[in-house]
Homo-oligomer: A and B are copies of this chain.
């Protein structure tokens, strides 16, 4: 029975849009998404796919059409989207497009904790990241070229344009940060070292080796 529990995995959104076109069975969905390069912008893994489909069925957003067995392979269940699934999917799409969601990229988290590393060590790390980002941008360019060669209309690669733009900005930001650390812009690096000396000086040398003490206390 539908429990008004909302499904949040974007993979579910992809499933709904693909069933919107035509009924399909799970593995076919995965194969189609692969072919269309959706895996570049939507995380796809089988474990999630089957749970997500189960959830969508429970909520009445999709329904099984038939269950077939070809030879002795595992059964496959073909699903179609329902009216309420269609409505849900469209509403969800509108929401995502019109309202920016605050997300939490790991790099942002690490930047906010950066002072735990000494600046001398951060320099080569940022250099490495820059190399990776440049590589990524090269791949983007190649794929864009491949799309043009295949005459794939732009409509189907808008997400790559977005990804490329964001990556380019991250690269620019990182290069600029690296410069500033190197040139001690605004006393950034000086202060950084000073802070570390101060904080590390004041703390007691970290004790124990980390051997888990077996005295696990659990309160009643």
Interface positions of A (Cβ within 8 A of B): 1-2, 4, 6-8, 10, 13-14, 17, 20-22, 38, 40-43, 57-64, 67, 75, 80-101, 103-117, 121-122, 124-126, 128-129, 132-133, 136, 153-156, 158-159, 161-163, 165-170, 172-173, 177, 186, 188, 191-192, 195, 199, 203, 206-214, 216-220
Contact = CB atoms under 8 A, between A and B. Distances in A.
A217 B2 CA distance: 13
> How many monomers of this chain does the complex have?
2
Given A91-B219, A114-B158, 12 more contacts: A13-B110, A14-B113, A17-B113, A38-B112, A63-B212, A84-B210, A93-B116, A103-B103, A111-B162, A153-B191, A155-B195, A162-B173
Instruction: Tell me the dominant secondary structure on chain A's binding face.
Output: helix
Given A111-B162, A117-B93, A104 B220 contact: no
A220 B43 CA distance: 18
Given A97-B107, A128-B99, A90 B114 contact: no
| In the A-B complex, the 8 residue pairs with the closest CB atoms | A60-B211, A82-B210, A84-B210, A84-B213, A112-B159, A60-B210, A98-B128, A111-B159
B41 A104 contact: yes
B96 A110 contact: yes
A109 B41 contact: yes
A106 to B, nearest CB: 5
B99 A132 contact: yes
A81 to B, nearest CB: 6
